[in-house]
Amino acid sequence: MSSEEKSPMTKATIKTEASSSLSSSSSSNSSPLWKRLGWMVIIWFGSVFALYAVSTLFRFLMTTAGMKIK
* Sequence letter at residue 37: L
Alpha helix positions (H), the chain: 8-28, 33-64
Map out the domains of the chain as residue ranges: 1-30, 31-70
pLDDT of residue 10: 59
pLDDT of residue 68: 80
Distance CA 28, CA 12 (A): 24
pLDDT of residue 69: 73
Task: Write the pLDDT tens digit of every residue in 9-66.
Answer: 555 556 655 555 555 455 557 889 999 999 999 999 999 999 999 999 999 999 999 9
Give the global pTM.
Answer: 0.52
Statement: residue 2 has pLDDT above 60: no
